[in-house]
Structures are given as C-alpha cells and as structure tokens.
C-alpha cells in the first residue's frame, strides 16, 4: 500500500508540470522540444518516438514540440524555465551550450547515470569518441548534453550553372579567394546569382571566418577566471574586407536562409554555403548539384565548426529524469541515429553507427567531404549571462559589413569592445 501511495504521489508531482500531462489512455505525456521539422530530420525523429511509445513499459508517451529554429526554441525554453514549466528534454545548439549551462537548471546525464543507472557507467565512453563527447561539455567542465545532430559545413554548386559559366565542376575551388573569382564569373557570364553564404540568426557561418584567420579561440581566459574577447587582427580584417567586396560588387547576395534555399532549388544560384544537414533536401531538388569542403583562406588552414545540437535534460524529478535518460538512450540507438542522419546529411556522432547503416556516405554530395571533421574546432559558445547578446553583436557586425558596407576595421573593433563589456 505504501509503495502504491508513493507511486501515486510521484506521478502527481510529475503531472504538475505544464510540459507533462495525462493522455486519454492514462499514460503520462512528456514533451521533447527540438527543431527537426518535416524537411530537416523530423520524420526520423517521429519514427523513433512512435517506436518508443509503442514499446516502453514506463507508462509514458513522448510528444514532440517542433520549433522553426534554435532562436524560437531558446526563447520558449527560457520562458518555460522561468515559469517552472520546462520540458523534460530538448535539443540545444552547440553555440548556446555555455549560456544555457551557466544560467539554467539542467541535469547532467553523468549525474543521472551515477544516481540511478550505475549499470550505464561505461555507456558514454563506449558510445562516443572523446572529442565528440567533449562537444557537449560546458566551459565549467560539466557534461551539459549529449551530441545528437552533427554536421559539417559544405559549399554546394549548381553544376549546370558552372557549365554555363565555363567553370570546371570537376576541379572545384579550395580557397575563399578562388570562390570569390568563381562568383564573379557566374554573375558576369550567366546573369544569375553567384554566391550565397548562409545568413542565419546565429553565428554558424560567422565564427569560421574569424577562426580561419589563424585564431585558436574568439576569447581568452584570464588568470582571474574572467574572459576577454580577442579576435581583431590583420587576418580577420582581411577576411571580412574580401567578403564586403563580394557583396558590394554583387557577386555574393544578401538574403534570408529561406530565400537562399529557394534560389538554390530553383536553379537561380550558383554556389551555396550551408550545412551538410541539407544534403537530402538538395538531393531531392531538381537541379544537378556538386559539393566541396568548406573553403579556407590563402595562407591559413581550413577551419570549420561542427553544427548541430546536443540532447539536454531539464527534468528535476526522479521519475522524469529516469524517463529522460531511457528515451535519450533510445534516440542514440545505432539504428535510430542512422535513420536520422540518412534523412538529413548529419554525420553520426556515435561510434556504433556502421558504414553499412550510414548510407549517406554513398551520396556524392557528402562522400569524402565527411573527412572535413578533422579540421573542426568547437563552435564558440560564450560564457556568462550575456552569451545570446554577444552572438547578436557578432551578427550585427556581420550585417553592417556586408550589407551596410561600414569600415571593416572599425566594425570589428567596435564589436570586440562591446563584447568585452558584456563579458565583464
């Protein structure tokens, strides 16, 4: 009787949260928040959820809440956390890890394993290579989340436009300087749009432009534990000046991501820098595409930031924490990871996905480009309470340079100064 009473009280406590309710068949409904819509891995996520719901003996039902992007998810997540109504699980972009980890009450999967699942003590080591697992570690050294979505940035080309411009699609550019010349040729020879570099409301295509100038990091940690932004140098000024020239001359186009994807699918755009997670979407489009690794700047090594997200546990109660861990392990089953990645262009974050499972390797838009992972540095995730505001400063500086054509050195120095104030 006492055991039954304890179970009832536990379930009532769980169901008191807004993101958890009772379904018609008396199962406990738990929300999983993510950004994987219909054309972005959503069907594979839903298949995994439906299989989990059909086979678990926990008396729970997982339901998706899908957001259009990380900004929308993060805004709603912050409001939910402030109102004590957080989802049990969500995804979080790599760029927001430190901000979320230092400002919101997450629960590390390591802590849940130690408390409730000692039999899983070797799970993370067996599942992930150390470098990949480290992508989910926050600046304070704790395992904030587990890598789930993992992508490399690629440069896609419309092969028919390259032919019309007299460019050799079997010998694609390697440097950004060459890309700029190809964009010029496309515009002048075909009258079509030359180059679109993805312009999301995050720093996905911004950080590599800085790190590609030879920086190890966008900021340094001082002896007293404080942080200082340090990214203005001759190389970063050169990189952004070259980009500004492309936009001024009409070789690169300034538009939204939605417009960029539409232009590429319609055969109006010659080159498109975006995530490998769009491979399947582009494969299904009508034009004939080829792709190459992310370009590098002359005199520097190729540097990329791996995009995607980690799975984060927000549950604060024992019951929901146990459900969260059980469901995350299900999502990370090799077959489920492969299904998710094959439907997008993400690359497997876990070690147990075999080449036979990961059929995307046979897609020529990925192929050997997956080796770009060796050139990856962690996506800059700013520490402190102002991480989101700092990203906005970098986005504003980007737009001022490539759309308003302000003086590059002045814009970069102003951004660095503003960021250092926010880091204090």
pLDDT tens digits, 202-221: 888 899 999 999 998 999 99
Mean pLDDT for 52-73 is 93
Confidence of residue 68 (pLDDT cuts 50, 70, 90): confident
Q: Which CATH number fits domain 2-150+308-361: 3.40.50.11060, 3.40.190.10, 2.60.120.10, 3.40.50.300?
A: 3.40.190.10
Mean pLDDT for 97-113 is 94
Question: What pLDDT is recorded for position 204?
Answer: 84
Residue 194 in contact with residue 270, Cβ under 8 Å? yes
> Does 161 have pLDDT greater than 50?
yes
Confidence of residue 25 (pLDDT cuts 50, 70, 90): low
Confidence of residue 11 (pLDDT cuts 50, 70, 90): very low
The DSSP letter of residue 29 is: E
Listed in order, the ranges of the chain carrying CATH 3.40.190.10 are 2-150+308-361, 153-306+379-423
Long-range contacts of residues 36-40, Cβ cutoff 8 Å, at least 24 apart: 36/66, 36/91, 36/149, 36/340, 37/66, 37/68, 39/281, 40/277, 40/281, 40/344
CATH number of 153-306+379-423: 3.40.190.10
Q: How would DSSP label each residue in 257-326?
A: HHHHHHHHHTT-EEEEEEEGGGHHHHHTSSS-EEEEEPPB-TTS---EE-EEEEEEE---SHHHHHHHHH
Mean pLDDT for 369-377 is 86
Question: What pLDDT is recorded for position 265?
Answer: 92
> Does 422 have pLDDT greater than 50?
yes
Task: Pick the range with the lowest mean pLDDT from 180-189, 195-204, 306-315.
Answer: 195-204
Mean pLDDT for 387-401 is 95
> Does 61 have pLDDT greater than 70?
yes
Distance separating alpha carbons of residues 169 and 292, to the nearest angstrom: 10
Mean pLDDT for 118-146 is 94
Mean pLDDT for 70-93 is 92
Question: What pLDDT is recorded for position 383?
Answer: 86
Higher pLDDT, 21 or 77: 77
């Amino acid at each position: 009787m006492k055991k039954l009473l304890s179970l009832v009280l536990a379930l009532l406590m769980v169901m008191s949260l807004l993101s958890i309710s009772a379904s018609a068949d008396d199962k406990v409904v738990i929300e999983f928040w993510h950004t994987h819509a219909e054309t972005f891995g959503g069907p594979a996520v839903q298949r995994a959820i439906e299989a989990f719901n059909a086979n678990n003996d926990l008396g729970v039902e997982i339901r998706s809440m899908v957001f259009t992007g990380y900004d929308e998810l993060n805004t709603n997540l912050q409001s939910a956390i402030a109102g004590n109504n957080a989802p049990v699980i969500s995804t979080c972009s790599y760029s927001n890890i430190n901000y979320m980890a230092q400002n919101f009450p997450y629960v590390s999967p390591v802590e849940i394993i130690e408390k409730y699942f000692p039999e899983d003590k070797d799970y993370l080591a067996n599942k992930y290579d150390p470098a990949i697992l480290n992508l989910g570690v926050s600046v304070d050294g704790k395992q904030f989340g587990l890598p789930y979505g993992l992508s490399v940035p690629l440069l896609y080309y419309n092969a028919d436009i390259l032919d019309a411009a007299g460019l050799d699609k079997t010998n694609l550019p390697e440097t950004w300087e060459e890309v700029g010349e190809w964009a010029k040729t496309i515009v002048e020879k075909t009258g079509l749009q030359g180059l679109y570099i993805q312009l999301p409301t995050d720093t996905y295509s911004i950080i590599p432009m800085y790190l590609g100038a030879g920086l190890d990091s966008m900021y340094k940690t001082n002896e007293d534990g404080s942080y200082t932004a340090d990214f203005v140098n001759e190389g970063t000024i050169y990189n952004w000046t070259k980009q500004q020239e492309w936009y001024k001359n009409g070789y690169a186009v300034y538009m939204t991501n939605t417009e960029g994807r539409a232009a590429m699918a319609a055969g109006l755009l010659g080159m498109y820098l975006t995530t490998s997670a769009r491979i399947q979407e582009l494969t299904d489009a009508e034009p004939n595409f080829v792709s190459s690794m992310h370009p590098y700047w002359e005199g520097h090594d190729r540097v990329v930031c791996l995009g995607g997200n980690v799975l984060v546990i927000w549950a604060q109660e024992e019951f929901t924490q146990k459900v969260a861990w059980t469901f995350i392990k299900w999502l990370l089953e090799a077959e489920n990871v492969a299904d998710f990645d094959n439907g997008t262009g993400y690359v497997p974050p876990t070690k147990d996905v075999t080449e036979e499972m990961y059929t995307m390797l046979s897609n020529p838009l990925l192929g050997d480009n997956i080796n770009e992972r060796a050139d990856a540095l962690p996506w800059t995730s700013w520490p402190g309470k102002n991480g989101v505001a700092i990203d906005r400063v970098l986005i504003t500086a980007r737009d001022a340079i490539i759309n308003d054509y302000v003086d590059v050195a002045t814009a970069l120095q102003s951004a660095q100064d503003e960021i250092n104030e926010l880091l204090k």
